[in-house]
Structure formats: C-alpha cells, structure tokens
C-alpha cells in the first residue's frame, strides 16, 4: 500500500474514532451511567450476599465499578467508530481517481486489456 493510501486510511480511522466519541457523548453516556451503576449494585449484592449497605467502602466500590463500565462502553464506541472509519478510508482510497488510473497503467504497458 502506498503512503498516500495509508494516510487516507489513518485519517478515516481518526475521523471515525472522533465520531464514535461524539456518538457516545450524545447517545451512550446516559445508558452507560445507568447500566454501570445498576451493574455495580448487582455485583456488590452478589459479593456481600444481601443488600448493599451504605458504607464508605461500598460507595467507593460503586463509583469505581460505574466508572469502569462507562469507560468500557466509551471504548466500544470509539473502537467501532475507528473500524468503520478505517473501512470507509479503504473504500475511499479504492474509489479515488488516482488509484484507478495507476491500476490501469501497468495493464496498458503490457498490452493486456482485462
């Protein structure tokens, strides 16, 4: 792959990652907060064997588990956005006029038209 093609794919991945972060902030932050908090409560209830007591340790663990859940959802949004952006970068490079003209030149030199 040529350097220009690599730059196109890298730019697509960066733009896709940024779009993933924006989509996370707009659509995923509130569900991630809700699911992270309720998941933390369920995990701690299973560990303690009953209802979670409102102690400082339990509250700290709830915060840590909630933030971990939010970061996991944000990472998923970002990675999927980057993958989609890289794929679109490949498609854009494959369909670019400079790529089409360079792929036809070797066939014309050999005299083979496929």
What is the model's pLDDT at position 85? 93
In a domain, 59, yes or no: yes
In a domain, 12, yes or no: no
**Residue 100 pLDDT greater than 80, yes or no:** no
**Residue 5 pLDDT greater than 70, yes or no:** yes
What is the rounded average pLDDT of the residues 49-69? 88
Spatial distance between the Cα atoms of 41 and 67, rounded to a whole number of angstroms: 13
In a domain, 114, yes or no: no
Spatial distance between the Cα atoms of 13 and 88, rounded to a whole number of angstroms: 8
Residue-range definition of the domain harbouring residue 52: 17-96
What is the rounded average pLDDT of the residues 55-73? 90
Q: How many domains does the chain have?
A: 1
- Tell me how far CA of residue 40 lies from CA of 6, 74, 77, in angstroms: 42, 17, 21
Cβ proximity of 33 and 113 under 8 Å? no
Q: Residues, the chain, total? A: 114
Q: What does the H/E/C string look like for 29-72?
A: HHHHHHHHHHHHHHHHHHHHCCCCCCCHHHHHHHHHHHHHHHHH
């Amino acid at each position: 792959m040529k350097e220009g093609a690599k730059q196109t794919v890298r730019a697509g991945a960066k733009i896709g990652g940024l779009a993933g972060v924006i989509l996370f902030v707009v659509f995923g932050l509130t569900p991630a907060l809700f699911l992270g908090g309720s998941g933390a409560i369920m995990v701690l209830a299973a560990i303690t064997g009953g209802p979670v007591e409102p102690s400082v340790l339990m509250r700290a663990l709830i915060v840590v588990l909630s933030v971990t859940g939010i970061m996991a959802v944000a990472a998923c949004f970002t990675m999927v956005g980057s993958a989609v952006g890289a794929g679109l970068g490949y498609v854009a490079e494959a369909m670019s006029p400079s790529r089409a003209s360079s792929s036809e030149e070797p066939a014309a030199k050999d005299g083979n038209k496929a």
